Amino acid sequence: MSISKVKLFLWGLLGFAAVVASSQIPLNGANAFTQYDDGLFAPLEDLSRLSDLHFTTFGHPAFPGHSIRMKRSESAFCDKTVKSYTGYIDKYNHHIFFYFFESRNDPDKDDVIFWTNGGPGGSSSLGLFMELGPCRIVDEKQTKYHPESWNSNANIFFVDQPVGVGYSYADYGDPVGTTEEAAKDIAAFVAIFFQNFSKFQGRPFHMAGESYGGRYIPLFASAVYDQNPRLIEAGLAPINLTSIMIGNGLTNILQMFDGRYKMACTVGASTQVVDIQTCVGMKQALSRCERWLQASCYDTFDDVACQAAFSFCSSAIDGPYEITGKNPYDVTKDCIGELEDTICYPIVSDIVRYLSRKDVRDQLGVDSSLPSNFSAIGWDVNRAFTLHHDELRPSYLYVAQLLERGVKALIYVGANDWICNWIGNEAWTLDLEWSQQEEFNGQVLRDWKVDGKVAGQTRSAGGLTFATVLGAGHMVPYDKPKEALELLTRWLSKTEL
């Protein structure tokens, strides 16, 4: 049965006109309109007006190359206590899939969170079904309610980005290979959504992610912030970008190598996992690694020399740890399964099988042209970013600029993570050059507690907060869901850790 396409355009104060279904539609202030099958037009006032049978497509003339397809999820997918939605961000031949869940508390007033997993190439279904989403995978047949979900007090997006990740796809080639390019699509998506659903306008908006999100989020948030003057000039509501949140992020690769050595060989970890002779070799190579990276990737960016430096560091520092068979995301655990398939966690295989089911895909509105087997990691995307040396760019500079403009930053790290460790993350926050660096560095690490028990250490000043989470690895909400939710709740409520 064919699915009727519904076009929705919000007409702002831009002086544009457009043709929808071969009819010229006059401008009408800032109202949003849906064209129904009978040819009549009516304002779309709320997400609940979306259909659960087909997508509604909406856009904005300020972003002529982008549109959003969105639908309600039948039977309250994943969390029956809230309304949920799925859709695609469309840009010509690119189509980026997302989930949206309303807050369990007060969806009409609560903040909005954008979440992305890392990789590059990691599907945000991992964040949804394994970590901080409103349900968790039980097995390939079912999910269960997750009481410590981050939608407990916030509306939240989970986005499979860029194209080629999860359910996202391209009609033909043209892969995305840099974070700068990916940021353009995300900024357009955020603007179109907030302009079409005015009840969210002015709400505090937080952009969050983990792992390679340490690269994504600073650039995505900067693109959203820098877009605001354009929206204001057009008479549209700016996005109230309030904060960024980065969990176990890869924000400065240079300092991460020092942390990896220390996590494997010194008291940086709860146990030393590499033998003495190998650790001595790692230590001897570390200074050369750091000097080479600094000169080739940071002082100046020499494409060939930077890649050579990175390859040397990876071989000398990462190689010895990888051959131990330990979990790179948690030094206290062994890797279970093949890293490329399960990222050391068997639950990932359950997520893959669940999202490969036809009934699940049909319920979510997944495009039928996609291969039937879901992939948690888009390896083509990963290779494209690697070819562009994207991870070697200095993302921390964007964090400094956001802080100077009043956008707060929470950098939280599971203390057991090796690959994006707390040592490297603490180091770049201390080295960050911004107007309140001295005040931030003057704060000593202190304990933060949950239910009277120490949950980690933290320091905070001037909008920047660094926090560790004890007993957690790379994916903090998976290992410590209660502490992760408490961390988020205090952050949103502006309560000190």
pLDDT tens digits for range 391-402:
999 899 999 999
Distance of CA 164 to the CA centre of its chain: 15
In 10 A of CB 75, how many CB atoms? Answer: 10
Tally DSSP H helices, then E strands, for the chain. Answer: 16, 22
Higher pLDDT, 13 or 169: 169
- pLDDT tier at 456, thresholds 50, 70, 90: very high
pLDDT tens digits for range 1-53:
333 333 222 222 222 222 222 222 222 223 333 433 333 333 355 787 888 88
Measured CA to CA, the distance from residue 315 to residue 429 in angstroms comes to 26
Residue whose entry in the numeric block shows the structure tokens 């490969």 = 356
- pLDDT tier at 269, thresholds 50, 70, 90: low
Q: What pLDDT is stored for residue 198 in this prediction?
A: 85
Q: What pLDDT is stored for residue 42 in this prediction?
A: 36
CB of 116 within 8 A of CB of 166? no
Q: What pLDDT is stored for residue 48 in this prediction?
A: 78
Measured CA to CA, the distance from residue 308 to residue 315 in angstroms comes to 11
CB of 325 within 8 A of CB of 337? no
| pLDDT tops 90 at residue 172 | no
Domain ranges of the chain: 50-273+324-497
Q: Which residues are catalytic?
A: 211, 417, 474
Parallel/antiparallel/unpaired status of strands 453-461 and 464-469? antiparallel
Q: What pLDDT is stored for residue 430 in this prediction?
A: 98
Q: Give the burial string for 291-314 (b: 16+ CB within 10 Å, else e).
A: ebbeebbeeeeeeeebbebbeebe
Q: How are the residues of the chain apportioned to helix, strand and coil, as percentages rounded to the nearest 5?
A: 35, 25, 40
Measured CA to CA, the distance from residue 121 to residue 375 in angstroms comes to 10
| pLDDT tops 70 at residue 340 | yes
pLDDT tens digits for range 347-389:
999 999 999 999 999 999 998 888 888 999 999 999 999 999 9
3-state secondary structure of 143: strand
| pLDDT tops 50 at residue 92 | yes
Q: What pLDDT is stored for residue 445 in this prediction?
A: 97
Helix (H) / strand (E) element for 241: namely strand 241-247
Higher pLDDT, 151 or 176: 151
What's the CATH number of domain 50-273+324-497, 3.40.50.720, 3.90.1150.10, 3.40.50.1820, 3.30.2130.10?
Answer: 3.40.50.1820
pLDDT tens digits for range 294-330:
999 999 999 999 999 999 999 999 999 999 999 999 9
DSSP 160-199: E-STTSTT-EESSS-----HHHHHHHHHHHHHHHHHHSGG
Percent of the chain with pLDDT over 70: 90
Once rounded to an integer, what is the mean pLDDT over residues 226-243?
95
pLDDT tens digits for range 48-77:
788 888 898 888 888 888 899 999 986 667
| pLDDT tops 50 at residue 226 | yes
In 10 A of CB 362, how many CB atoms? Answer: 11
**Average pLDDT of the chain?**
88
Phi (first) and psi of residue 90, to 5 degrees? -105, 135
3-state secondary structure of 69: strand
Measured CA to CA, the distance from residue 403 to residue 452 in angstroms comes to 31
Judged on CB neighbours under 10 Å (0-12, 13-18, 19+), 267 is exposed
Once rounded to an integer, what is the mean pLDDT over residues 124-135?
97
Distance of CA 455 to the CA centre of its chain: 24
